[in-house]
């Protein structure tokens, strides 16, 4: 029988394993490889946090890694059905990305952006081997930045069902990573990507040292997709969107590498694009209730285009955060500078806007 994986790492839900059977099994041993530590230090700057908004549900978090100029790979379940996809790198670089390729049957997606990206991570060209030490890098849900873990490959042939699709030739690592790491890379000691993290499942006591193990799409499958995607990507607009062609607001060069900032910026980008239903999902339930109704909030939001956001400070207090911004807002022909204070709450690991106060602070 094949193990059945009931959900993927990008979603904050429980995962269970049913059945037995795997290929290439071997007992695993703990690893703390100094070479892998050096690989992590070099590669983590090329691993992005992903936040994707949807029409009628909360945003989906995940990870992605650079594979070429303006190109990143991520898990399909992170961006399927998305309206806005934002990527944020350690150091403060934020950019919008479009889904240029999507194959849910292999849980693989290609993102394209016009932003200048960090160095690409090469894909492993040789077959991965059982027992090889690996470094897994990603952005865990509810975490405060990029994280990494070390493990070894315990199987190169596990077969599981991920989000309804039967997948084989998967790599299994005897280390558990948190939700939000989907789309992150698993790298060997040379710094090459051996696989892309997609899910976790229960470990097998005769081979795995962790109760939960991580599975990944192997580099050979990723390379096949980079060479050509099976179908073009079509994006359906949400009901209630406006036909707008606004650009994402510019972020100051000193922008702060902090997840609450990403949520605020993604909200402004969605509003500029007229994507009000998916932007509405970036508000807490209390903020939506305070707005009175979606229609009232939409009418007010549609009157403003955000030209730039200058991040002044971010303050954290547990599950709450405050982001101070100097924003340039265009209404009709007039441009005003606003001093804004966003209050955010972390809900199910994702920072959502809870309150906004603002005052005039000059003209553009």
| Residue 347 and residue 207 share a domain | no
pLDDT at 250: 76
Residues 332-342 pLDDT 10s:
889 999 999 99
237 in a structural domain? no
In the predicted model, what is the mean pLDDT of residues 154-160?
Answer: 83
**Quick one: pLDDT band at residue 255, thresholds 50, 70, 90?**
low
Is residue 28 scored above 50 in pLDDT? no
pLDDT at 207: 65
* Locus of tokens 């924003």: 327
Residue 109, by phi and psi: left (phi above 0), alpha (psi -120 to 50) or beta?
Answer: beta
| Residue 254 and residue 165 share a domain | no
pLDDT at 11: 30
Pair of tokens at residue 196: 């892309």
Total domains present in the chain: 2
Is residue 84 scored above 80 in pLDDT? yes
**Quick one: pLDDT band at residue 233, thresholds 50, 70, 90?**
confident
Is residue 3 scored above 60 in pLDDT? no
| Residue 203 and residue 71 share a domain | yes
CA 124 to chain centre: 22
234 in a structural domain? no
| Residue 192 and residue 147 share a domain | yes
Report how far apart, in Å, the C-alpha atoms of 125 and of each of 2, 194, 224, 320 are: 28, 8, 11, 44
Is residue 76 scored above 90 in pLDDT? yes
Write the CATH number for 345. Answer: 3.10.450.50
Q: Are 170 and 158 in contact (CB under 8 A)?
A: yes
User: Final residue of a domain: which of 227, 258, 293?
Assistant: 227
Strands 60-68 and 185-187 come out as unpaired
Pair of tokens at residue 119: 């160095």
Alpha-carbon Rg of the chain, whole angstroms? 21
Strands 147-162 and 4-5 come out as parallel
Point out which residues pair with 61 in neighbouring strands: 51
H helices of the chain, where?
Answer: 34-43, 76-79, 219-227, 259-272, 276-280, 285-290, 294-301
Is residue 316 scored above 60 in pLDDT? yes
| Residue 123 and residue 38 share a domain | yes
| Residue 214 and residue 271 share a domain | no
Angle at 180 between CA 178 and CA 182, to 5 degrees: 100
Residues 98-136 pLDDT 10s:
999 999 999 999 999 999 999 999 999 999 999 999 999
Write the CATH number for 52. Answer: 2.40.10.120
| Residue 169 and residue 75 share a domain | yes
Is residue 10 scored above 80 in pLDDT? no
Is residue 158 scored above 90 in pLDDT? no
| Residue 274 and residue 207 share a domain | no
| Residue 209 and residue 301 share a domain | no
Report percent pLDDT > 70 for the chain. 85
The residue ranking higher by pLDDT, 250 or 325, is 325
pLDDT at 142: 73
Using the 8-state DSSP alphabet, how is residue 119 labeled?
P
244 in a structural domain? no
User: Final residue of a domain: which of 160, 194, 227?
Assistant: 227
Q: Measuring CA to CA, which residue among 88, 10, 9 is closest to residue 48?
A: 88
pLDDT at 343: 98
| Residue 219 and residue 267 share a domain | no
Q: What is the mean pLDDT of the chain?
A: 85
**Quick one: pLDDT band at residue 155, thresholds 50, 70, 90?**
confident
In the predicted model, what is the mean pLDDT of residues 7-25?
Answer: 31
112 in a structural domain? yes
pLDDT at 168: 80
266 in a structural domain? yes
Is residue 9 scored above 80 in pLDDT? no
Residues 29-69 pLDDT 10s:
446 889 999 999 999 999 999 999 999 889 999 999 999 99
Is residue 272 scored above 70 in pLDDT? yes
269 in a structural domain? yes
Most confident of 101-110, 136-145, 232-241: 101-110
238 in a structural domain? no
| Rounded Cα gap, residues 122 and 116, in angstroms | 17
Report how far apart, in Å, the C-alpha atoms of 261 and of each of 121, 148, 275 are: 26, 22, 19
99 in a structural domain? yes
| Residue 310 and residue 221 share a domain | no
User: Final residue of a domain: which of 227, 258, 273?
Assistant: 227
Q: Are 170 and 216 in contact (CB under 8 A)?
A: yes
Report how far apart, in Å, the C-alpha atoms of 187 and of each of 56, 173, 225, 232, 337 are: 35, 11, 19, 29, 45
Domain that holds residue 117: 4-227
Residues 176-210 pLDDT 10s:
888 899 999 999 999 999 999 998 776 665 566 66
Q: For the ranges 70-79, 243-252, 290-299, which has the lowest average pLDDT?
A: 243-252
Q: For the ranges 26-35, 256-265, 292-301, which has the lowest average pLDDT?
A: 26-35
| Residue 262 and residue 164 share a domain | no
pLDDT at 56: 87
Q: Are 84 and 60 in contact (CB under 8 A)?
A: no
In the predicted model, what is the mean pLDDT of residues 134-139?
Answer: 96
The residue ranking higher by pLDDT, 161 or 340, is 340
Q: Are 117 and 66 in contact (CB under 8 A)?
A: yes
């Amino acid at each position: 029988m094949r193990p059945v994986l009931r959900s993927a790492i990008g979603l904050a839900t429980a995962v269970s394993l049913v059945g037995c059977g795997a290929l290439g099994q071997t007992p695993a041993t703990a690893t703390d490889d100094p070479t892998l530590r050096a690989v992590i230090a070099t590669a983590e700057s090329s691993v992005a946090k992903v936040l994707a908004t949807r029409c009628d549900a909360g945003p989906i978090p995940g990870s992605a890694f650079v594979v070429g100029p303006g190109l990143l790979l991520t898990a399909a379940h992170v961006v399927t059905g998305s309206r806005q996809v934002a990527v944020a790198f350690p150091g403060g670089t934020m950019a919008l990305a479009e889904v240029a390729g999507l194959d849910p049957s292999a849980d693989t997606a290609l993102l394209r952006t016009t932003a200048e990206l960090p160095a690409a991570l090469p894909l492993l060209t040789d077959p991965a081997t059982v027992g090889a030490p690996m470094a897994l890098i990603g952005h865990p849900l509810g975490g405060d930045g990029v994280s990494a873990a070390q493990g070894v490959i315990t199987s190169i042939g596990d077969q599981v069902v991920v989000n309804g699709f039967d997948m084989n030739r998967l790599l299994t690592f005897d280390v558990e990573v948190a939700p939000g790491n989907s789309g992150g890379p698993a790298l060997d000691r040379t710094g090459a990507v051996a696989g892309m993290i997609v899910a976790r499942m229960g470990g097998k006591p005769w081979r795995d040292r962790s109760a939960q193990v991580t599975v990944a799409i192997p580099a050979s499958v990723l390379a096949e997709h980079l060479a050509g995607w099976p179908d073009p990507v079509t994006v359906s607009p949400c009901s209630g969107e406006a036909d707008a062609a606004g650009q994402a607001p510019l972020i100051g060069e000193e922008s702060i590498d902090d997840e609450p900032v990403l949520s605020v910026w993604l909200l402004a980008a969605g509003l500029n694009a007229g994507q009000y239903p998916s932007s509405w999902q970036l508000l807490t339930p209390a903020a939506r209730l305070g707005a009175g109704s979606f229609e009232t909030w939409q009418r007010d939001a549609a009157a403003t285009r955000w030209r730039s956001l200058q991040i002044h400070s971010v303050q954290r207090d547990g599950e709450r955060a405050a982001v101070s911004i100097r924003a340039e807002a265009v209404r009709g022909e007039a441009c005003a500078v606003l001093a804004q204070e966003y209050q955010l709450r972390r809900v199910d690991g994702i920072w959502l806007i809870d309150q906004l106060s603002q005052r005039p602070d000059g003209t553009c």
